[in-house]
Amino acid sequence: MVCIILHSMVITLGAGEQVEIVDSPQLPVEVKSKVFQANLSNLSPEDYRFTVLRLIAQLEYEQKFKIKPSVFPQIAIKFDAQRAPGLSTNPNLLFSLVQFLERRGYTRENIFLVALKIDRETGFTLEKQFLASQIITGEDEEYFHPDWFHDSPMPPAMGYRAKLLIDHPQNPEKRKIEERKSYLPAFLFLSKMHWINLSTAKDDHVLGIDGAITNATLNSSSNSQRFREDSTIGPAAATEILAIPEFSEKQLFSVLDLSEMQIAGGPEFNAEFIRHKPSLLLSKNPVFIDYYAMQSIQKERAILALKDRVPQDCKLFIYARELGLGDIQETELVQLAD
């Protein structure tokens, strides 16, 4: 085993304060295996609001419960800002989801926007509409928790090693211990928090696809750049983090926006390879969302005669199946009528 997962059902915060994990309602297997797709018409705020509402309504109808404060007291929205201001979560999608939650009775104090890091432009956009306390990044104390991390002997990237040297200049033993740890976005799943995953689709020559899985895992965790250069350990780390019960069970659903996707040149942003498919994918299972997103990327790559990206050969999906996260042969795409 390359990595070790540390997790517990009840952990201790601060001076003896215990926080209990609150389980989400368990969905039937057939609902977890479905991916719902709805087309966008003009990418306007109204278009996104209507499409988001349709998709969530379909998921709620099939899983037979509603997203409401009495069931899910606090909601964190983990959005994709990894390549901003290049390719990132469309603000119309983010704000549409916030408005949906407000219509369901959530107050702004119980809705949180979460990203590992946010560029200045995105920060300014969010601060115009949200309080600072609602925007949580890796710079905030509550984002990580010392007891929740992914452990791996994989050496850190040079930048992270330099950071540890600055943080612990006189403590080489501490640096050695911290080099193994990738801290998880504990804010998403501790206490009464549940979370929603908003991602984009980007070709990644190491992982196969940088999408819903990575937005929730590697792109949300510290010291994770080390995994992005190894085609075996990278997918293993991403799927092992996703397989943590406390982490995955607190996720309500994932949405992937195909209106802008990068079909080559990843993982860094490359505008030359941006293509457009105006539609949204929604599912409880980010593995299956990435499967269909990868198919969309592959169709565009074929037009340019680029090397095939075959989902069946992608280690993200192979490891996901081995860890019980879902078999891409058993998923179903449900297209909502326009």
Amino acid at position 208, single letter: G
Q: Let me know: does 37 contact 334? Beta carbons within 8 Å.
A: yes
How far apart are alpha carbons 88 and 121 in whole angstroms? 12
Give me the pLDDT at residue 63, please.
86
What local confidence, expressed as pLDDT, does residue 3 receive? 36
Which are the contacts of 195, defined by CB distance < 8 A and separation ≥ 6? Answer: 75, 76, 77, 78, 114, 188, 189, 250, 251, 252
Which tokens hold the place of 160?
């992270």
Q: Are 51 and 336 in contact (CB under 8 A)?
A: no
Question: CA 248, CA 242: separation in Å to the nearest integer?
Answer: 6
Q: Provide the terminal-to-terminal Cα distance of the chain, rounded to the nearest Å.
A: 46
Is the pTM of the predicted complex or chain greater than 0.75?
yes
Which residues in the chain come in under a pLDDT of 50? 1-25, 27-29
**How many other C-beta atoms can be found within 10 angstroms of the C-beta atom of residue 104?**
14
Largest CA distance in the chain: 62
Q: Cα separation of 152 and 298, whole Å?
A: 32
Tell me the residue type at 170: Q
The one-letter amino acid code at 133 reads: S
CA neighbor of 97 nearest in space, from 57, 55, 52 = 52
Percent helix, strand, coil in the chain, to 5, is 40, 20, 40
- Per the CB < 8 A criterion, the answer to whether 225 and 283 are in contact is no
Residue with tokens 């119309």: 92
Amino acid 84: pLDDT: 59
Query: What was the pLDDT predicted at 105?
Result: 96
CB atoms within 10 A of CB 297: 30
**What CATH class has 27-150+184-335?**
alpha beta
pLDDT value of position 139: 92
Query: What pairing do the DSSP bridges indicate for beta strands 34-39 and 332-335?
Result: parallel
Beta pairing, strands 332-335 & 193-204: unpaired
Place of tokens 């990435």: 290
